[in-house]
């Protein structure tokens, strides 16, 4: 198969779809790989390393999209990229369609086969291609929160760890999955006072087993959110209903009731955000203030530590990517229901139910079962 990797074009996005090590795996399996000129240079993967791994360097994204049978990326395709996709071509990347009607329309119009990393599943009810970036974003969320709690960055001037004689800052994590667990690890490491809310009791039990008395676990009710958000110095939004738009758990009133100079980090912003006042920001301009509360809502947080993130992402995407290339996308998806769960759009049909639930009425979309779609 001919695989193409364009340079990422989202704001301050330096990750790249394939590392040189991953390229070597593809070329050793007999595939050809095209890499856009300097696609990985910013994170220390130069053209020579890709050439040594067996890739060819190509001057433009246009040429990659025109020639490749499968496009491997990191972020959702930007409008100019969507317009270059075509029927018969496979796109393998993050999509996050439910909160993004424009991209959904463009992918439907393209006719391409679009597999979303974030909805591929595994046998333990996990999301194996989202997990590595959730680990990164969860760990970064506390780092970002601590930074913006500093006075000079708009915060209340609170040190999360406190010092002997002064109580630590209070961190509220809403959603105790991969992001939430990794946020908790960092916050505990800094010495903060950590509370995790989740609406899954089994998950709260697991968290209690992992962290014991280093955290408080609380069942996620409106009351709990009212109480803990009003006391918090830092709130981290880490909920997910797979593929769907995030539920708005903090209202405008919650934000107004928070302490002046507290910070909210809405990691779930890539699914539309779980705070009513959230709007996506960029690494270049990451924060804004509502009712005295600093909001950090960067939709591609792992892009900030692009080298670590690219390697972590490739560890997870490689086995599925190889299956897509070795067997051909349709056979690979027929053979593996977990990979099939990643299919969101195929030949103009939306094949992921939560996307149709979010956008069907607005865009006039009808849901089609993924297996039926690839067999049509
Ligand atoms: N902004 C960014 O750069 C990044 C964002 N993300 C996003 O972070 C979010 C979380 O991802 P993961 O931790 O991997 O998901 P996950 O599926 O591991 O965890 C989500 C947790 O939220 C809980 N939950 C769902 N509804 C809830 C509610 N109403 N109240 C309390 N808890 C609730 C679930 O029970 C689950 O434990 C996703 O939207 C993901 O796309 C992930 C990586 C990077
Ligand atoms: C998960 C995601 O969207 C990201 O890593 O940018
Ligand atoms: Mg206030």
255 near 276, Cβ under 8 Å?
A: yes
Q: Return the pLDDT at 11.
A: 86
Q: How far is the CA of 238 from the centre of ligand 1 (A)?
A: 4
The CA-atom distances, in angstroms, between 39 and each of 16, 43, 70, 293 are 7, 9, 17, 37
Name residues of the chain where pLDDT drops below 70.
none
Reading across the β-sheet that carries 349-350, which strands appear in turn?
56-58, 32-36, 2-5, 70-72, 90-93, 113-116, 343-346, 349-350
Reported as a single tens digit per residue, the pLDDT across 343-367 is 999 999 999 999 999 999 999 999 9
- The reported pTM is 0.95
Q: Return the pLDDT at 243.
A: 86
Q: Return the pLDDT at 105.
A: 98
Can you name the residues that pair with 93 across neighbouring β-strands? 116
Q: Is 184 in the pocket of ligand 1 (CB under 6 A)?
A: no
Give the residues surrounding ligand 2 with Cβ less than 6 Å away: 75, 94, 96, 130, 133, 270, 300, 302
Q: Return the pLDDT at 40.
A: 98
* Least distant ligand from the CA of 299: 1
Q: Is 282 in the pocket of ligand 1 (CB under 6 A)?
A: no
Q: Return the pLDDT at 242.
A: 87
Query: What is the ipTM, given to two decimal places?
Result: 0.98
Q: How far is the CA of 295 from the centre of ligand 3 (A)?
A: 13
Neighbours of 132 (CB within 10 A): 21
Coil/strand/helix, residue 4: strand
Question: Within the chain, where are the H helices?
Answer: 20-28, 47-52, 61-67, 79-82, 101-110, 131-148, 178-190, 201-211, 222-231, 252-257, 306-327, 329-335, 337-340, 353-363, 370-374
């Amino acid at each position: 198969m001919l695989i193409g990797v364009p340079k990422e074009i989202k704001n301050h996005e330096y990750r790249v779809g394939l590392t040189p090590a991953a390229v070597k795996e593809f070329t050793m399996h007999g595939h050809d790989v095209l890499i856009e000129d300097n696609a990985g240079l910013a994170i220390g993967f130069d053209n020579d390393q890709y050439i040594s791994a067996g890739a060819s360097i190509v001057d433009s994204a246009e040429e990659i999209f025109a020639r490749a049978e499968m496009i491997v990326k990191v972020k959702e395709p930007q409008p100019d990229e969507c317009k270059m996709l075509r029927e018969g071509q496979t796109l393998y990347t993050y999509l996050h369609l439910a909160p993004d009607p424009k991209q959904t329309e463009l992918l439907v119009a393209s006719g391409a086969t679009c597999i979303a990393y974030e909805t591929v599943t595994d046998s333990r009810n996990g999301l194996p291609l989202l997990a590595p970036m959730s680990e990164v974003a969860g760990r970064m969320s506390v780092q970002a929160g601590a930074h913006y709690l500093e006075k000079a960055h708009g915060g209340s001037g609170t040190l999360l760890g406190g010092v002997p004689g002064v109580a630590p800052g209070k961190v509220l994590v809403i959603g105790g999955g991969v992001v939430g667990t990794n946020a908790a690890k960092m916050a505990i490491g800094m010495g903060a006072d950590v509370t995790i809310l989740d609406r899954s009791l089994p998950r709260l039990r697991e968290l209690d087993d992992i962290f014991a008395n280093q955290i408080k676990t609380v069942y996620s009710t409106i009351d709990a959110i009212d109480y803990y958000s009003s006391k918090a110095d830092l709130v981290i939004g880490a909920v997910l209903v797979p593929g769907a738009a995030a539920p708005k758990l903090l209202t405008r009133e919650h934000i107004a009731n928070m302490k002046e100079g507290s910070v909210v980090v809405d990691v779930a912003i890539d699914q539309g955000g779980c705070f009513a006042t959230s709007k996506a920001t960029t690494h270049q301009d990451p924060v804004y203030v509502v009712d005295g509360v600093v909001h950090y809502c960067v939709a591609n947080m792992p892009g900030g530590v692009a080298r670590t993130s690219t390697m972590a992402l490739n560890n997870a995407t490689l086995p599925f990517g190889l299956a897509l290339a070795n067997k051909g996308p349709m056979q690979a998806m027929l053979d593996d229901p977990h990979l099939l769960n990643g299919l969101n759009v195929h030949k103009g049909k939306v094949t992921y139910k939560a996307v149709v639930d979010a956008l069907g009425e607005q865009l006039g979309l009808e849901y089609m079962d993924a297996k039926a779609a690839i067999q049509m």
